[in-house]
Structure 1
């Protein structure tokens, strides 16, 4: 089987279930695992490099208002790959090539590749997408084993949270910012991640989209801890934005602020979301997150 993955998350899943050798085409954002970078790139972004968060927000809003695509699919590269399966999404126009663009390209090329749409909104649906990709690639057993390992890790977090609560630990109010200029509240699976980690998500709704918020709303949410998780940013970049945010005075004073690797463990609906849950649980417990998962700003 020859697979083209147009989502970093599905690329990650495909490699994790042993289908990496089947992957022949990826996007410019598919950087995990490192082997994925060796595959042919078939989609790129229309977003100029070097923009600030506010400039990115303005560019995205203008493009969507004009009905322009934010991602470009290289139909020529796709034709040369002779794919049997193309994996894409229609969840977020800001995240990847839309399924309609893929179908139009395949129709134009006269290619009969199957198009599989992966659109998880919750953690359960993310785990379900692992099983879906397992079935689509003939890797059912490895997919089921991966889901079992991820569920076991999540259960360990639940057990640790329950133990802390039995010992009298309070449930802190956690604010996660998926964008910093302007502020965006968390959506989709992130509020679930916060709750699983033992905190209350002050803004945002599980399974819903991320929405813009005024800084007055942010302050009024009275968080006990703030987590800066800007979509698409790794830890060093998120740390820089978190420091700028602290310096701006927009956040409630004297509240702990953490930066996390949003690109790896929060924004992409793949196996590493469980890493994100474990990172948040460590923050709630007052422990140091493992590895280079997070960094405290104040």
Structure 2
């Protein structure tokens, strides 16, 4: 039973940590500077939201939204959180089985799970807009578009990209002002955290995504950015890919001072990590600098969405706990 639960959780991690395959047409989010966000936010405050609007998602997919959407389906938990953060919860008519935040999201009709999306049900609900994770499945997208449904895809891997996606969803739904205000609040909190850690010595950090095989977060992942911004040095930054497998010998050789992971299985504990063969000489193990994100913290860490600044604070507190007392 534990093995089955573990495999299900791994599938979840593979989804939310961007290990899903994307088509060769995918286009990365363009990073938005704080100055750009602030200036755009100021302009938005003075504008009157009007439709139709042309929207371009993270993959160069352009759609024209004729009128303010009243029925929206979200096929990814981070997109669901964006919708609720912008006050669009009453317009959400369909979600996936892993869209569990905020609590109200659990009351929405489930139209997707790990086995796939119920396209027949989605078309039957006749939404104005569907938000998907990544580029999505080409055949699924075709079916939705042929049904006259607008489809937008997002897969952020940086804080700026998350903010850009929030801005885009705000524009697509008539919530420009709310998006601008939310982004400003994110920036304010982010700057508070960065100010606390800016003069600290870099601490070597390892983030375990999965344990068998050992997988981590490398350069190009939002986890790597969170570690770096928090005053840490990600020992896997030069690994091959954003979420690669990682060799135990290299882990021991690079000797992280802090070991971070999430409670992806019931039997993952500090003691179980300490007891792994070969781990005994790692600094983080010797000095009890192992931090397992559990419950709501695990949820926050697994999603690059509106709560990504909370994730930044969780990582910063784990690396520099003395600064957050």
Q: Would you say same fold, with TM above 0.5?
A: yes
Q: Which residue of 2 aligns with 1:26?
A: 95
Return the TM-score normalized by structure 1. Answer: 0.76
The correspondence of residues 86-101 of structure 1 with structure 2, limited to 5 A, is: 86-90=130-134, 98-101=136-139
Contact kept? 2:206, 2:234, Cα under 8 Å: yes
Q: Which residue of 2 aligns with 1:295?
A: none
Equivalent position SS for 2:217: coil
Equivalent position SS for 1:248: coil
Q: Which residue of 1 aligns with 2:113?
A: 44
> For residues 73 and 121 of structure 2, what CA distance do their matches in structure 1 show?
11
Q: 1:216 aligns with which of 249, 274, 299?
A: 249
2:130 counterpart of 1:102 = no
Q: 1:181 aligns with which of 189, 212, 226?
A: 212
Mean Cα deviation higher: 267-276 or 197-206: 197-206
Contact kept? 2:133, 2:154, Cα under 8 Å: yes
Q: 1:150 aligns with which of 169, 181, 186?
A: 186
Q: Which residue of 2 aligns with 1:79?
A: 123
> For residues 206 and 85 of structure 1, what CA distance do their matches in structure 2 show?
38
Cα deviation, residue 85, structure 1: 0.5
Q: Specify which structure has the bigger relative contact order, considering alpha-carbon pairs within 8 angstroms and separated by 6 or more residues.
A: 2
2:200 counterpart of 1:200 = no
Equivalent position SS for 1:117: strand
Equivalent position SS for 1:136: helix
Q: 2:259 aligns with which of 217, 226, 235?
A: 226
> For residues 289 and 245 of structure 1, what CA distance do their matches in structure 2 show?
26
1:184-233 Cα deviation digits (max 9, x unpaired): 12141111101111111111369952101111121122111100136xx4
Cα deviation, residue 40, structure 1: 0.7
In structure 1, the gaps of 5 or more residues are: 47-71, 92-97, 291-298
Q: Which residue of 2 aligns with 1:273?
A: 308
Q: Could you say if the C-alpha distance between residues 5 and 101 of structure 1 is closer, same or farther in structure 2, counting changes exceeding 3 Å?
A: farther
Equivalent position SS for 1:29: coil
Q: Which residue of 2 aligns with 1:129?
A: 165
- Equivalenced residues, count: 247
Equivalent position SS for 1:213: coil
Equivalent position SS for 1:212: coil
Contact kept? 1:239, 1:260, Cα under 8 Å: no
> For residues 238 and 289 of structure 1, what CA distance do their matches in structure 2 show?
28
Cα deviation, residue 125, structure 1: 0.5
> For residues 243 and 119 of structure 1, what CA distance do their matches in structure 2 show?
35
Cα deviation, residue 240, structure 1: 2.4
2:272 counterpart of 1:244 = yes
Contact kept? 1:197, 1:277, Cα under 8 Å: yes
Equivalent position SS for 2:131: strand
Cα deviation, residue 136, structure 1: 1.0
Q: Could you say if the C-alpha distance between residues 206 and 271 of structure 1 is closer, same or farther in structure 2, counting changes exceeding 3 Å?
A: farther
> For residues 240 and 246 of structure 2, what CA distance do their matches in structure 1 show?
17
Runs of 4+ in structure 1 off by over 6 angstroms are none
Equivalent position SS for 2:98: coil
Cα deviation, residue 11, structure 1: 0.1
1:214-271 Cα deviation digits (max 9, x unpaired): 11121122111100136xx4xxx47825542222134324041110146422221112
